[in-house]
């Protein structure tokens, strides 16, 4: 599947409904552009990043969060870069260990397992949690 570089950005309410809207838009944008497997992984990572922004971070001005997606042609297939920007938190997002009985605490481990790389950048308005996923990501 030949990929042309493309990107888009979406601002949604800092609420579960906004996260759902962003996931649906992301799926629509990626369908037919990347493989079904990569699209599924990107949606799973986006769900975790958006959910964390809603649950753990302040909103951007206007009570919103922003998601950006770029699809790049990589040497071994498409590369998808996600960036979720929120108003920041007093805690830096980090992977945690969760016991088998824990009901939460696995999100960033899922992100780390699916993405080739992820991280957190501070910006003037808050923080950006980003992830980069590759078509042939080893598991």
Closest CA to 78 of 32, 28, 25, 45: 32
**Is 79 inside a domain boundary?**
yes
Distances (CA, A) of 56 to 50, 80, 86: 10, 24, 10
**Is 139 inside a domain boundary?**
no
Over residues 69-121, the pLDDT tens digits come to: 999 988 888 999 999 999 998 877 766 666 666 555 567 888 999 999 999 99
Query: How much is the pTM?
Result: 0.88
Determine phi and psi for 58, rounding to 5 degrees.
-75, 160
Give 9: exposed, middle or buried? Use CB within 10 Å, 0-12, 13-18, 19+. exposed
- Is the pLDDT at 137 greater than 60? The verdict is no
Q: What is the dihedral of CA 46, 8, 20, 51, to 10 degrees?
A: 40
**Is 1 inside a domain boundary?**
no
Helices 107-114 and 36-56 pack at an angle, to 10 degrees, of 150
Range of the domain at 88: 6-96+103-134
**Is 76 inside a domain boundary?**
yes
Over residues 22-58, the pLDDT tens digits come to: 999 999 999 999 999 999 999 999 999 999 999 999 9
């Amino acid at each position: 599947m030949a990929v042309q570089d493309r990107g888009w950005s979406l601002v949604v309410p800092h609420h579960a409904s906004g996260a759902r809207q962003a996931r649906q838009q992301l799926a629509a944008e990626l369908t037919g552009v990347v493989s079904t497997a990569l699209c599924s992984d990107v949606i799973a990572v986006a769900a975790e990043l958006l959910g964390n922004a809603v649950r753990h971070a302040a909103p951007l001005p206007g009570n919103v969060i922003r998601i950006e997606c770029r699809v790049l042609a990589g040497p071994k297939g498409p590369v998808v870069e996600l960036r979720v920007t929120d108003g920041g938190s007093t805690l830096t997002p980090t992977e945690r260990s969760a016991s088998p009985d824990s009901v939460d605490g696995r999100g960033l481990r899922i992100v780390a397992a699916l993405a080739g790389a992820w991280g957190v950048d501070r910006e003037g308005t808050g923080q950006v949690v980003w992830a980069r996923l590759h078509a042939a990501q080893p598991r």
